[in-house]
Amino acid sequence: MSLRINDIAPDFTAETTQGTIRFHDWIGDGWAILFSHPKDFTPVCTTELGYMAKIEPEFRRRNCKIIGLSVDPVDNHARWAKDIEETQGYLPAYPMIGDPNLEVAKLYNMLPAEEPGTSEGRTPANNATVRSVFVIGPDKRIKLMLTYPMTTGRNFDEILRVLDSMQLTAAHKVATPVNWKHGEDVIIAGSVSDDDAKTLFPQGWKAPKPYLRIVKQPG
């Protein structure tokens, strides 16, 4: 069965570039991002993992761990990391899961519709894990899922933006509008009555429509 938003993220034990982990234990009491890439020593993946290495401190500042995954073995990840540092200027300091038996890839439905079924014979053309991103909350539930085709590199600045939104809306009864960025105005959640909103937002709000109540970002 496919995973859905608010499902408990499947737990697993796996080998990584930083040793064996039990996923839920590794997450701890913070947030986590699990992202897969198709294959080591390939061009788009090299740029993606290098950029994640660059902005990893931003995730850490938000109490969010990041972990990568592909169907390649851990030894390949370690060798490839040197190429990433050489070409992108940043060495991945986050763990990368080796999943040659596709156990985690299948658990998280990271495989495309047509794939060989094992890691044998995989190439950049027929390769397994698509570019999936899972954001997981402190309650171990899936908060966001994104999947990109193998030919399109992801926008990880967008993942940071969404994380900011989810952490804000988890703490306050608000939602964030289109293209919102940290510090901009937000929208009072539709589940909040006007009477309750007067208590929660005593500074008041703008309401071009009764259902569209705009306030300054709280916190």
Domain, as residue range, for 88 = 13-154
Q: Is the separation of the CB atoms in 69 and 106 below 8 Å?
A: no
In terms of Cβ atoms closer than 10 Å to its own Cβ (0-12, 13-18, 19+), residue 25 is: exposed
Indicate if 45 belongs to the active site. yes
Predicted pLDDT of residue 119: 52
Query: In terms of domains, do 200 and 97 share one?
Result: no
* Calpha distance 101→118 (Å, rounded): 6
Measured CA distances, 90 to 57, 159, 219 (Å): 12, 19, 33
pLDDT by residue for the chain (219 residues), tens only, comes to: 589 999 999 999 999 999 999 999 999 999 999 999 988 999 999 999 999 999 999 999 999 999 999 989 999 999 999 999 999 999 999 999 999 888 999 899 888 766 555 555 555 445 556 789 999 999 999 999 999 988 899 999 999 999 999 999 999 999 999 999 999 999 999 999 999 999 999 999 999 999 999 999 998
Task: Count structural domains, the chain.
Answer: 2
Q: Judge residue 29's burial from the number of C-beta atoms within 10 Å of its C-beta, 0-12 exposed, 13-18 middle, 19 or more buried.
A: exposed
Catalytic-labelled residue, pool 14, 32, 34, 45: 45
3-class state of residue 190 by DSSP: coil
pLDDT the model gives residue 182: 96
| Residues 78 and 114 occupy one common structural domain | yes
